[in-house]
Amino acid sequence: MARRTLRTLVSALATGVIAIGVMTPGSAGAPPPPPTPTGGATPAGRPGPEEPRPPLLPADFRGTGRYIVRDLGIDVPFSWQGRGGDSQMIAGGPNHPIWFTNLIYKNTLYTLTYKWPNIPLEPPRPCDRVGFFNRQMLNDLLKTSRYVGPEILQGNRDRHVDHWRVGVVGGSTQPGEAIRFPIALGDVYVDQKDPSRWWQGLQFGFQNLFDPALDEWFTMSTFTHQPGQVTLPDRCPPPL
């Protein structure tokens, strides 16, 4: 999913997405891992807490929510659906200030922006076929996420979530004083009881080039493990 979490977690995780370029693990810029390793023990000899399972994108799902770009004052409807390993994010629509879709479709990552503030609509922007990418590759990347900790997302319904960080950092990969710079970062919030149920995501970095503040959010109000609909727009070239 690309120019948004997929564009997001995936252009994001190259530009969509629940949306995610693609995010690969970085060497800096994220909170350190918990001090007690999985299955380890505290200094007093008591069993330490086990780290929860990392986020997982299921093969089949349906979710609805909001896509939010705070610095532009944008808050539009958002949907994210998956079927058989393919997936599609859609934010906004023809009557909203932004409108884009990101897809993982037949092992290919796409991003298509229909509307965005100060972006010319004529001629229509092309659909970007970013490259080879699939759900398995995304989940392999998510396995490298760093655990931040448990949190409660407050809203119409409080949700108990686990917060994870995944990112791309340029520069030295060695610890210590060195030149590094963040390229793309993503924060993922998944259900504490089911890491394949996504409730919120933040993407920040060079992949968010249309947004002056380089950060965009999605929040989910529903998320079920039922097959959704994934449709490749007519403007997009065939899969690789």
- Lowest-confidence segment of 45-59, 117-131, 137-151, 200-214 by average pLDDT: 45-59
Cis, peptide link before residue 150, omega less than 30° from 0:
no
Distance between CA atoms of residues 7 and 3, nearest Å: 3
Q: What is the mean pLDDT of residues 186-210?
A: 92
Confirm whether pTM is higher than 0.85: no
Task: Place 49 in a pLDDT band, splitting at 50, 70 and 90.
Answer: low
Distance between CA atoms of residues 54 and 203, nearest Å: 17
Task: Place 17 in a pLDDT band, splitting at 50, 70 and 90.
Answer: very low
CATH 2.50.20, domain 61-224, yes or no: yes
Whether 39 has a pLDDT exceeding 60, the answer reads: no
Percent residues over pLDDT 90 in the chain: 60
Whether 33 has a pLDDT exceeding 50, the answer reads: no
Both tokens assigned to 183: 């390229």
69-89 pLDDT, tens per residue?
999 999 999 999 999 999 999
Q: What is the pLDDT of residue 220?
A: 97
Nearby residues of 36 by Cβ (< 8 Å), 6 or more positions away: 42, 48, 49
Residue found under tokens 């965005």: 116
